[in-house]
Structure 1
Amino acid sequence: MKKINILLCSLLLLGLSVSCIGKQSVSLKVLQLNLWYQGGIVPDGVGGIIDIIDQTNPDIIFLCEIRKEKNNPFIEDLKDELKKRGKAYDGKYIDQTMGILSKYRLTNVISPFTLEDDSRPVCKATLTINGQNLTVYSVHWDYTHYECYMPREYSGTTWKKIDAPADNTDSVLTANRLSYREEGVAALLKDAQQEIKQGNIVILGGDFNEPSHLDWQADTKDMRNHNGLVINWDCSAMLHNAGYKDAYRELYPNPVTHPGFSWPAGNKAAPMDKLMWVADADDRDRIDFIYYYPNKDLTLKDVAIVGPIEDLCMGEIKDHQTQDPFIIPKGVWPSDHKGTLATFTLCTE
C-alpha cells in the first residue's frame, strides 16, 4: 500500500492524471472565440484572429460571428493561413454564424436545432483522438432579448433607455424567454445525451448572449448594476442541472474576485461607436463559455480569459481590477468579446 501511495503522489507531482494510469495522457486545449463580424470591424481583424490562434495553439476552436452566407470561404482561408505557420486544422462551417476548427478530423457535421427561418445556431461535429471519441458543439445563441440590460435601465431588444430599472426577477426572465436560447439549449442537451450514452466525451462552447446564473447570485446583487437582483438565467441553469460543468467557474468559483467578464472588451483598436452599446451603465458580463460533461477520461487542468485585460465600463475603457487569469494577445485583438481557453487532460487508448 505504501508503494502505491508513493506512486500516486509521484504522478500528481509530475502533473499527470491518476485516472490515466494504463492509458495515454493527451493535452487538449479548447478555445472559444467570438470574431465580431468575421474580424471585419477592427483594422486587420482577420490577421488578429490568425495571430491569437497561432499564439494559443488550441486543438479545438469554437468560432462564432462568421458571416452567414452560402459557401463562405472564411474557414478555408483561416486553414490556409494557419498552415503557412505550421498549424494544420480541419474546419467545418454549416452556412450559419458558427464553425469549428480542429487539429483532428471532424466528421458527422450537423445542427441538432433549426429555427422556423432555417437558422441553425448550433454546429455539431465528432472527432477521435487515439481511439477516444469526442462530440463537440459550437453555439451562437440569439443576441436579441438580451434582458440582463433590464436591471441596468435599458431594453435588451431596442437597447434604449427604459422608464426605470427592472426590480424583480420574474419580469426579467419573462422578457428574456422571448428569445430562442433556452429552446436551443434543450435541443442540444437532448442530442448530447445520446452521445453521452454511447460513451462519447461532450464539450461545447460559444457566445450565449446571456449571463450565467453563477454570476448573478447574492454575492453580486449589489454590484455591476444588478440592481439587487438574484437571477437564475435559463441557459446556464439548464446546463448546470443536467450535470455540465462551466470550465471557468470550476477553477474560479468566486464571481466577485474572478468575474471573468467576456463582454464588452476594452478593445482600444476598435471604433468606440461600434464597441459601446450603453454609455452610463456597467454592462460587463460573462456571456462566452466553455462547458463539458464530466467523464473519468477528461480532467480540466487550466482555464484563462483570452483578450485585452481592459474592460469597457460606463462608456470608458478601464483597467481590469480583478484577479482573473489572462492570456494577452500579442497582436491586434479582433473582437468586442474576450475569449476563453480551457486546457484538459484527455485519457486515450
Structure 2
Amino acid sequence: MDGCRAPPSVATMRARRILAGALAALALGTVGVAQPAQAGGHPSRIKVMTLNVFYGGDELDLATGDFCAEPDACTETLTEVKRVIQAAGADIVGIQEPERNTSRIARLLGWYSSDRAHVMSRFPIIDPPDSDGLYVFVEVAPGRVVAVANMHLPSDPYGPYLVRDGGTRSDVLKLERDTRLAAAKSAVKPLPKLARQGIPVFLTGDFNSPSHLDWTQAVDDARDDVPFAVDWPASHALADAGLKDTFREAHPNPVKDPGFTWTPGGPESDPHEVYDRIDWVLRAGPGHTVASRVVGERDVDPYPTDHRGVVSTVDVTPAVPPVLAAPRERNVDLGDPIVVDYHGTDAVTLRDDAGRLIARQATPRQDGTVRFATRDLKRGRYTVNGAPVWLYPRDEPVRVATTKTSYRTGEKIAVDFSNAPGMGLDWISVFRAGDGNDAYLAYAYTGSLIEGRLSIGPDGIGDWPLPPGRYVVRLLPDDGLRSVAESKPFTVRK
C-alpha cells in the first residue's frame, strides 16, 4: 500500500506518481538487448525477496508504531529493515517505497545496489544500457546472470476496500482496469523477451492488488471477507506475460495458505482492515521454485514496516549475458574514472557528445572492467559504446530552471534540469513560492534521467491549470519529499 501524512487527495496524487513514473521510464526508449543471451554454467539456488519498507524505512517510530515526529528521522528503523532481510536469508531484494534509501540499506548489509531499479543483492549488479532502468542483471555466478525487475503499482483506490464497502464484481474489475492494469502491462513489457532468450527473470513488487490465484471460488466459500471470486486483472496480465507466482507454486492451495502480506499493522492501517496477499515474487524463464514463505513480525520484533515480505527459493541456470558495456555510474565527478563493466565486446569506446572518439580500450577477455580517466575532460555528456554518461565538476549543484519567468494560465511549463541523482522515481513539481515540499501541485517524473527537459501541463499529474500567482519548481529524488534543487520564482498570470 502507499500513503502519507497529507490529506487523502494528496495521498492519491502520491500513489499516482508511481504509475506515472513507470510509464515515463518506459517511454524513454526501446527496451531490449543487442544480442541473445546464452544459457550456461551450473544451476544456482538463489533466494529472491520483495519488501515494501514504508517510506524509505526511516519514517516509522518503532516505539510508538506511528510516523516519526520528524520526517526521515527514525534511522534506527533501517537497522530493523536490515534484520528482516537477514532473517529471510535473501540473496536479491526488490525494494518498494525506498525514497533514496536503497543504497543506504544495501550498505548496512554490505551489498550491491541499484537506486534506479530499486534492487539490492549480495551479488554484483549490472545496469544494462538498454534497460532504461526497468531491470538489472544480477551476476549470481561469474559471467552468469539473472534479470531482476521491481514494481510498485498504485495503491488508491484499493480494490478489496471497494468490495468490503459493497462494491460488485463489475465495480472492482473496472477499478482495477482503470487504476493498475495499464501500469502492470507497461512495466512488464521487456521481461518476456529476456525469458525467451534463456535468461531467468524475476519481478518483485508491491502490486496493491490481490491475485487471481487467491480469490477463487474455493476461497469465496471459505472466507467471509471474499463475497465472490475475482479474476484480478493485474495478476492475470502478468501471468499472461509468462510470469509465475512463486508463492503459489510452492503453496497452491489459497484456502490452506493465504500468505497475507497486507498488513501486520502500521500508521495507515484501516480501522476495518482487509487482509490479503499483495506482495509477490514472480519468475519467468528457466527455473524451478523450491520454496517460498512470508517474512514478518514472527521473524523480527519490532517489525519495521506495514508490509510483510516474501522470500522465494528458486533453482535457476543463470545465463551468459548479452553483449554489453555498462557504465557503473551515469553521473560521474570530473576527476573520477568512468568505470565500465563489459561482456562479449572486443572494445569499449568513450566519445564526446559530438561523436568524436576520446579513448578506446581493447577487451581481450570475455568479461571484465575498464576505466577511463576524466581529469583532462570537460563538463558534459559522453557515451560509452552508445550508453550516456555525464561529467560534472565535483562541487556543481543539482540545477532546475523554468525556461521562462512568466506563463499564462494553462500554458505548459518547460523545465530544464541537470546533475540530477538519476534515481528510479526522481520527480519535479510546481510549488507556490514559500510552501513546503508536502504542498506539491502539478508534477512530472524525470524518467531517471541525469539531464534533460520536461513539461508540466494538462497531460501531467496534479493540480492544473495553475491559478495566477508566484511559483517555483523543485527536483525531489526517488518519490520522496526532500528537494535537492529549486528554481528561481516564476509567475502565472491570467
State if a TM-score over 0.5 links the two structures.
Answer: yes
**What residue in structure 2 maps to residue 253 of structure 1?**
252
Q: Is the 8 A contact 1:220 1:226 kept in 2?
A: no
1:14-69 deviation per Cα after TM superposition (whole angstroms, max 9, x unaligned): xxxxxxxx9533220111101011222142321110112223332110111112xx
| Letter in structure 2 aligned against 1:277 | D
**What residue in structure 2 maps to residue 145 of structure 1?**
157
1:54-133 to 2 correspondences below 5 Å: 54-67=86-99, 72=100, 74-83=101-110, 89-94=111-116, 99-108=118-127, 123-130=134-141, 131-133=143-145
2:146 to 127, 131, 134: 134
**What residue in structure 2 maps to residue 51 of structure 1?**
83
1:109-137 deviation per Cα after TM superposition (whole angstroms, max 9, x unaligned): 68979xxxxxxxx8421123333331111
**What residue in structure 1 maps to residue 183 of structure 2?**
184
**Structure 1, unpaired ranges of 5+:** 1-21, 84-88, 114-121, 154-164, 309-327
Q: Is the 8 A contact 1:263 1:336 kept in 2?
A: yes
**What residue in structure 2 maps to residue 41 of structure 1?**
60
2:270 to 263, 271, 277: 277
1:342 to 300, 312, 320: 312
2:282 to 275, 278, 291: 291
2:185 counterpart of 1:194? no
**What residue in structure 1 maps to residue 236 of structure 2?**
237
Change (3 A) 1:50 1:111: farther
In 1, Cα distance between the equivalents of 2:292 and 2:49?
Answer: 10
Q: Is the 8 A contact 2:51 2:310 kept in 1?
A: yes
In 1, Cα distance between the equivalents of 2:230 and 2:164?
Answer: 13
Change (3 A) 1:76 1:239: closer
1:26 to 20, 44, 49: 44
In 1, Cα distance between the equivalents of 2:52 and 2:130?
Answer: 19
Change (3 A) 1:278 1:331: closer
3-state secondary structure, aligned to 2:127 = strand
**TM-score for both structures, normalised by structure 2:** 0.50
Higher strand share: 2
Q: Is the 8 A contact 1:110 1:124 kept in 2?
A: no
Count of aligned positions: 265
1:52-105 deviation per Cα after TM superposition (whole angstroms, max 9, x unaligned): 2223332110111112xxxx3x2332233223xxxxx110113xxx61101222
| Letter in structure 2 aligned against 1:172 | V
1:163-174 to 2 correspondences below 5 Å: 165-166=166-167, 168-174=168-174
Greater RCO, CA 8 A, separation 6+: 1
Q: CA RMSD in A?
A: 2.4
| Letter in structure 1 aligned against 2:106 | K
Higher helix share: 1
How much identity, in percent, do the aligned residues show?
A: 26
**What residue in structure 2 maps to residue 320 of structure 1?**
none
| Letter in structure 2 aligned against 1:200 | I
3-state secondary structure, aligned to 2:156 = coil
**Structure 2, unpaired ranges of 5+:** 1-39, 63-75, 320-494
Q: Is the 8 A contact 2:198 2:285 kept in 1?
A: no
**What residue in structure 2 maps to residue 325 of structure 1?**
none
Q: Is the 8 A contact 1:299 1:345 kept in 2?
A: yes
**What residue in structure 2 maps to residue 19 of structure 1?**
none
Change (3 A) 1:285 1:152: same
In 2, Cα distance between the equivalents of 1:329 and 1:111?
Answer: 38
3-state secondary structure, aligned to 2:317 = strand
Larger Rg computed on CA atoms:
2
In 2, Cα distance between the equivalents of 1:104 and 1:192?
Answer: 20
1:284 Cα deviation after fit: 0.7
In 2, Cα distance between the equivalents of 1:47 and 1:289?
Answer: 23
In 1, Cα distance between the equivalents of 2:134 and 2:270?
Answer: 28
1:343 Cα deviation after fit: 0.8
In 1, Cα distance between the equivalents of 2:278 and 2:61?
Answer: 21
